[in-house]
């Protein structure tokens, strides 16, 4: 065998000491030794496939063809994750577990990765295996997206909408190239949503320009595209001046720009579209919160019938976060008012989890149309 074709054989011996596993590496050719602690090995990249997750590619194809949307629910803690998984297993719905940059800082990146691993095992215990995507919501830098990919995320969003069009393309393309090399799907964004949610904020919205979508998709290679057609982040998506009121005095938001969505569909037919800021802000929760000591004035969201209409189009991923926050907050406030002496977190987080589960089951069945699609 020619010298250049010789293989270096690595022999790994595991030695145990009091604090760490230590790996002794010796090559037959060089007799070179190196000590690697498990702390080093734990920092090596982890593939989402090792965690039992899937990317969004096949899920989106089925959703576009089937006229429904995959739920993308944000989570920060165990109770939220339990509620999401229970709701999606019981309705047999695929799910996208969304994590924002703020959630990673709050819950810790390592814990979140292992919560996703636990989620895969948990649905097996619940009796029905559903496809699970772990997705970065509103990643704003290449470094953040790369870190998530290296830590087991199966999908990332790179939000370059705050940059110029050319810089958005360049940043998105850079993320796509790295992500696709690891089998990870990428969501880009054109247009800006108003509102505040976690670390994402914008005072004014700007609608997606349909004439830009073909160029953006072809130049970046993204797998899905978040667009702006009038949805907005947070629980106060619109000012009262932007809305009308029905006979009960409830604020009705301005109609979504379905004409923009339809034009985009014509230009990139069958391409997966994403809607952010799509919480409906259920008025029953707003009322509960206010009656139980809260102050949520003029909170208004996107009517569910509008979201169902969108889900029947090429919109195959709909993001919902604020609704879950409202449901949990209302349930927790109820416990605190009815049982002011309660101090066991399980006694108020448990009811909050149950309320969130019921809400998300309703979303899957009646709004997104994803029930029975797993």
**Tens digit of each residue's pLDDT (9 = 90 or more) over 210-266:** 999 999 999 999 999 999 998 876 676 678 888 888 887 778 888 999 999 999 999
Tell me, what's the pLDDT at 334? Answer: 98
**369 CB-side CA count, 13 A:** 21
Architecture in CATH for domain 48-368: Alpha-Beta Barrel (3.20)
DSSP count for the chain of H helices, then E strands: 13, 15
User: Which candidate, 158, 139, 60, 54, places its Cα nearest to that of 97?
Assistant: 54
pLDDT at 196 over 60: no
Residues identified as active-site = 137
Summarised one tens digit per residue, pLDDT across range 31-56 is 444 444 444 444 578 999 999 999 99
User: Which candidate, 316, 309, 306, places its Cα nearest to that of 272?
Assistant: 316
pLDDT at 284 over 70: yes
Q: Report how far Cα 166 is from the mean position of its chain's Cα atoms.
A: 26
Give the residue extent of every domain in the chain.
3-42, 48-368
Q: Residue 149: which pLDDT band, with cuts at 50, 70 and 90?
A: very high
Q: Residue 280: which pLDDT band, with cuts at 50, 70 and 90?
A: very high
**pLDDT mean across residues, the chain:** 87
Tokens for 114? 């292992």
């Amino acid at each position: 065998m020619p010298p250049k074709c010789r293989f270096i054989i690595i022999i790994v011996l595991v030695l145990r000491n009091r604090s760490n596993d230590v790996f002794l590496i010796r090559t037959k050719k060089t007799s070179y030794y190196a000590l690697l602690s498990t702390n080093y090995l734990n920092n090596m990249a982890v593939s989402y496939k090792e965690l039992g997750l899937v990317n969004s590619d096949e899920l989106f194809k089925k959703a576009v063809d089937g006229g429904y949307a995959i739920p993308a629910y944000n989570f920060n803690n165990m109770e939220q994750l339990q509620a999401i998984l229970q709701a999606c297993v019981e309705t047999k719905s695929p799910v996208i577990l969304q994590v924002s940059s703020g959630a990673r800082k709050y819950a810790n990146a390592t814990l979140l990765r292992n919560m996703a691993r636990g989620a895969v095992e948990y649905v097996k215990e619940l009796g029905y295996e559903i496809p699970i995507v772990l997705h970065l919501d509103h990643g704003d830098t290449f470094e953040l997206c790369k870190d998530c990919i290296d830590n087991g995320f199966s999908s990332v969003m790179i939000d370059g909408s705050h940059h110029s069009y050319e810089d958005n393309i360049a940043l998105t393309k850079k993320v796509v190239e790295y992500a696709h090399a690891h089998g990870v799907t990428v969501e880009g964004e054109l247009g800006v949503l108003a509102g505040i949610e976690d670390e994402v904020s914008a005072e004014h919205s700007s609608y997606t320009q349909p004439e830009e979508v073909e160029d953006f998709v072809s130049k970046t290679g993204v797998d899905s595209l978040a667009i702006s057609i009038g949805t907005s982040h947070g629980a106060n998506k619109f000012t009262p001046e932007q809305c009308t009121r029905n006979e009960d005095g409830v604020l009705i938001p301005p109609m979504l720009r379905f004409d923009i969505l339809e034009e985009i569909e014509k230009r990139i037919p069958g391409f997966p579209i994403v809607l952010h800021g799509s919480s409906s802000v259920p008025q029953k929760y707003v009322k509960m919160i206010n009656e139980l000591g809260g102050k949520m004035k003029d909170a208004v969201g996107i009517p569910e019938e509008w979201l169902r209409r969108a889900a029947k189009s090429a919109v195959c991923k709909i993001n919902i976060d604020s609704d879950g926050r409202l449901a949990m907050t209302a349930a927790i406030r109820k416990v605190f008012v009815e049982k002011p002496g309660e101090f066991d977190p399980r006694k108020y987080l448990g009811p909050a989890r149950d309320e969130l589960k019921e809400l998300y089951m309703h979303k899957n069945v009646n709004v997104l149309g994803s029930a029975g699609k797993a």
